[in-house]
Chain A
Amino acid sequence: MLTSLPLLSITIFLPLLGAFVILLNWGNKQTSLAMNARWVALWTSLVTWGLAVTLWWNFDASSSEFQLQDKFQWMPLLNISYHVGLDGISLPLFLLSAFLVPICVLVSWTSIQDKVSEYMVAFLVLETFLLGMFSALDFILFYLFFESVLIPMFLIIGIWGGLNRIYAAFKFFLYTLLGSVLSLLAIIYIYFEVGSSSIPAALVTPFDPQIQTWLWLAFFASFAVKIPMWPLHTWLPDAHVEAPTAGSVILAGVLLKMGGYGFIRFSLSMFPEASSYFTPMIFTLSIIAIIYTSLVALVQKDMKKLIAYASVAHMGFVTLGIFTADAQGIQGAIMQMVSHGLVSAALFICVGVIYDRLHSREIADYGGIVHIMPRYATFFMFFILASIGLPGTSGFVGEFLVLLGAFQANTWATLLATTGIVLGAAYALWLYRRVVFGQLSNPRLKGLTDLDWREKIVLGPLATSILLFGLYPTPVLILAEASVAKVIDQFNLALEVDGNLLVNPKKFLEVAYLRRGQ
């Protein structure tokens, strides 16, 4: 019965419906309205999560095809359609988004006190855009969702953010917009090449290698800013520091993954020649990101900024893994994205918990809180270890697979990347020591209370899933396996052609067409 419903579309647009319900209450200013908005948002996002799990249930992991597709003509004159579907690459990230939004709502339960309904509306709208972005199978639809994300995120940072929020919101918006507009032109070009804006059609269209370079660069501008890669990462620390806790959670948890998803779905799958041409550059940038931003993280005085830089380093592993074009590397990158989504979300919430109590993010203001907040210290310890990549946590699986994949591609790159893990342990453990251990020196800390039930409800599922995927990563890996194998097959197929042919695009195209049976 369920399969006859357009279940995927319902999941995508349910949050929008919830947002609409909240909007209906506009106008009468009462505290009960804020409470209603919170509950509506919580229930909507929980039901969405439930639906997303149902999708997971109905998903056939052994197939590499796009599944649960919904399609209808959107702009028939232009051959642009509303087309959504999931495969093993998008589903993990889809689930991650649906999982993190209810957590965001709970995190903001008491810390957001003004314009509550607008805040919840922004989050629900953001959820629709994110879910739509990961499941879009039409270029125009993809771009629509990809860029729409900027509006709610801009408002979340700008309205509910910290002191320097306006600067951070503008920087976030303009930086990411600048990156993505070029990919719009690439999308239009592909549209004319393919004759429609369908992503599955574009995936089997071979592009002229020389054109590929330009298209690849256009997409690179967009995804490298989003993920973000060094040296395009400078918007991230500002945005993270100024955003409210839930904003940081969704930013680190999901928004960064849009870049990684784009790299796998578009750059690697559609432009294999260009991808292999640019792989040395990606490796270099990834390794600089891993080492340099880890070093930068070491000297941060602001907890959120430290975690933000750590995110850039972790994303370096993702890009490294993706462009190994190897099953272990890409699966590791997907695992790393899921894991980082959980771990960094948890770390930002941990910072948020003490920020809500003391209203300071300075590391120097803390110290010795293990004496007054033992439960908090335990959770924080666990997440710090997961961030380092301790075996038994999901962080280990991702990083290990990426390094395994990278080792086969480039030993030196792997060696350098591994130093990042050591540095990661250094900044994370040092942060933990300074905040949690030592003497309770700051008198203002005395009054802090330990985690309340709401915070435990928030941190519990995160800790459980990090542990679960650390011990038993198979659910994610099996989900991605078939689709990743398909991407790699196509990639290798394109590159099997003799290197000389790359110089002669016409002949190359003939061979490519032959191989793809067209």
Chain B
Amino acid sequence: MTGFYIPDFSLILPEVFLALSALLILMEGSFVKKRSFRRSVHYGLLALGLALFYLIFQNEAGQSWVTFEGQIKQDDFIFFAKALILLGSLGTLAMSVPSMMKENLTSFEYPPLVLLATLGMLLMVEANDFIILFIGMEMQGLSLYVLAALQRDHPRVSEAALKYFILGAFATGLFLYGVSLMYGFTGATNFDIISSVIRAESVNDLSLSLFVGLIFIMAALAFKVSAVPFHMWTPDVYQGCPTPVTAFIGGVPKVAAMVVFLRLMASPFLLLYGEWQSLIIFISAASMIVGAFAALGQTDLKRLLAYSAIGQMGYVLIGIASGNDEGIQSVFVYLTIYLVMFMGTFACLLSLKGKTPEGVQEIEDLKGISLLHPRLSFILAVFMFSMAGIPPLAGFFAKLYVFKAAISAGLFYLAIIGVLTSVVASYYYLKIVKVMYFDALPETPSASHGQLLVLSPEIIVVLNICAAIILVFFLFPNGVLELAQRAALALPI
């Protein structure tokens, strides 16, 4: 390309806006004398909201653009993913207000870091080039490492943050190595070019280094979505980080990483389907099994939710493994519903005081709270039944579409493993319901047992919206289904 090239900035306006807002909020925090954590959060929410608004406003169904010399792409698939990421960040940022204030984590850097992480995730999903993908991944990764270490004088927190950082860096290394192998073979980092190089040769003629590169890239992504056997960091990090940070780390970034996973498998590596499918089947089955069985004995709520997340990611991977239209749709539906359930569950936990200043930690901290807070326990029970996949709640539909994809692709054994592990997993979700509803209040409760935090309107809004979505999804499933279908059409499968 010769001459002066002006890329089309209108396509990445939300990203530019987010970057500027992050810097502005940072400036405001540094220079304005009367700091207010809540005001910074509100600026952050406003920025995310505006970005989302512009994204929806700008979107036109069925269109596909490339810009920045083919490095950034925009289509229905990416639109759905970006909207999901923005919504997730919006909700998680909003609901963290009361507990961040309670734990004295009111550093004004928090909202800008969330914005920058979100920006990184947006770049990840819209990248059409491994370099941009890498930049996005690192951007969100580094912001998240800092977020994890926000409470740095607490030994448990710094341990978790360090673990997260080291393992994250390891995954990055794997990823870069894989990309360099890929580059060595195809001579390109652009997805379209890689795709056409692979298409030009028959699979048997492809060099071994390409497959090794593919496996490295998949391993790195498995790290990011915490799929077995790369899941070890998840329980420790979930447990160690302050709960509001866990709510962010465990939710949106996983969605972004999963979308990237799906996009890479379905777009540049589509023709290697036969090669990667068996790997995905393996990590999917292993994640479901580990997620179901390892969580059974957990007494720590966040550890339990970590294993639950590992299992849930296993179900999403079924969708990728099916490698067809239905699979892509089911991944999107699952991720949407999972994100809502996940945020809602954490919003419930963030509303309660626990034994320790860190808030609710043990399952026992929820003992008998249905007597004190019927509404809150009802909502948490709804999320638990939904995570277990019991109809008529949304979680059932998520699983239904995933299994439908598996059956349509002929993956019967994977589907059978999926339904059986979902029964095992339902045990520990029910355990939480049991603690809340079947158990009496402890005889000698700690002073703060079952006490509510002073709830801010932000968290109440998030809680109620999430609960409403999960409860009445069965009445209005079509909106999400149509979006998912549009997203699937944008991919060349």
Contacts and interface: CB of A to CB of B under 8 A. Distances in A.
A212 to B, nearest CB: 15
B427 A26 contact: no
A442 B400 CA distance: 56
Interface in A37-76: 74-76
A454 to B, nearest CB: 28
20 contacts: A74-B477, A76-B478, A77-B481, A78-B481, A144-B474, A148-B390, A151-B390, A154-B430, A155-B433, A158-B434, A169-B438, A170-B427, A174-B430, A177-B423, A181-B422, A181-B423, A185-B407, A185-B419, A188-B400, A188-B407
A185 B403 CA distance: 7
A303 to B, nearest CB: 24
Nearest to A183: B419
Q: Is the interface of B mostly helix, strand, loop or mixed?
A: helix
Interface string B387-413: 000111000100010011001100010
A215 B130 CA distance: 45
B420 interface: yes
A49 to B, nearest CB: 23
Contact of B396 (A118, A144, A158, A178): A144
Interface residues of A, number: 35
A147 B391 contact: yes
A188 B403 contact: yes
Nearest to B385: A151
B408 A192 contact: yes
A166 interface: yes
Contacts of A494: none
Contacts of A154: 430, 433
Contact of A159 (B403, B419, B438): B438
A145 B474 CA distance: 12
Contacts of B481: 75, 77-78
Contact of A174 (B419, B423, B474): B423
Given A177-B426, A185-B407, 11 more contacts: A75-B477, A75-B478, A145-B391, A151-B390, A158-B433, A169-B434, A181-B422, A181-B423, A185-B403, A188-B404, A192-B407
Interface in A127-153: 140, 143-145, 147-148, 150-151
A150 B416 contact: no
Nearest to B477: A75
Contact of A166 (B408, B422, B434): B434
Contacts of A192: 407-408
A189 interface: yes
A461 B468 CA distance: 41
Nearest to B382: A151
Give the 4 A-B CB pairs with smallest separation, nearest first.
Answer: A181-B419, A144-B391, A158-B438, A188-B407
Interface string B471-493: 00010011001100100000000
Contacts of A74: 477
B388 to A, nearest CB: 8
A182 B426 contact: no
Contacts of A178: 420, 423
Interface in A69-107: 74-78
A63 to B, nearest CB: 31
Contacts of A77: 478, 481-482, 485
A184 B427 contact: no
B375 interface: yes
Contacts of A181: 419-420, 422-423
A158 B390 contact: no
A159 B408 CA distance: 41
B407 A189 contact: yes
A147 B478 contact: no
A263 interface: no
B288 to A, nearest CB: 13
Contacts of B396: 144, 147
B407 A182 contact: no
Q: B396, B404, B408, B481: which has the most chain A beta carbons within 10 Å?
A: B404
Contacts of A283: none
Contacts of A170: 427, 430, 434
Contacts of A78: 481
B415 interface: yes
Interface string B167-189: 00000000000000000000000
B277 to A, nearest CB: 20
Given A77-B482, A174-B423, A181-B420, A147 B390 contact: yes
A191 interface: yes
B445 interface: no
B80 interface: no
Q: Which of A150, A158, A177 has the most CB of B within 10 A?
A: A177
Contacts of A159: 437-438
B431 to A, nearest CB: 8
A230 interface: no
Interface in B301-320: none
Contacts of B442: none
Nearest to A154: B430
Interface string B34-70: 0000000000000000000000000000000000000
Contact of B375 (A26, A148, A155): A26
A165 interface: yes
Interface string A179-221: 0011011001101100000000000000000000000000000
B229 interface: no
A421 to B, nearest CB: 37
Contacts of B407: 185, 188-189, 192
A508 interface: no
A317 interface: no
A173 interface: yes
B457 interface: no
A150 B388 CA distance: 12
Contact of B374 (A26, A150, A177): A26
B392 A173 contact: no
Contact of A184 (B419, B430, B474, B477): B419
Contacts of B427: 170, 174
A264 to B, nearest CB: 23
A231 B284 CA distance: 33
Nearest to A191: B404
Contacts of B408: 192
A169 B427 CA distance: 11
Contacts of B422: 181
A148 B426 contact: no
Contacts of A177: 390, 423, 426
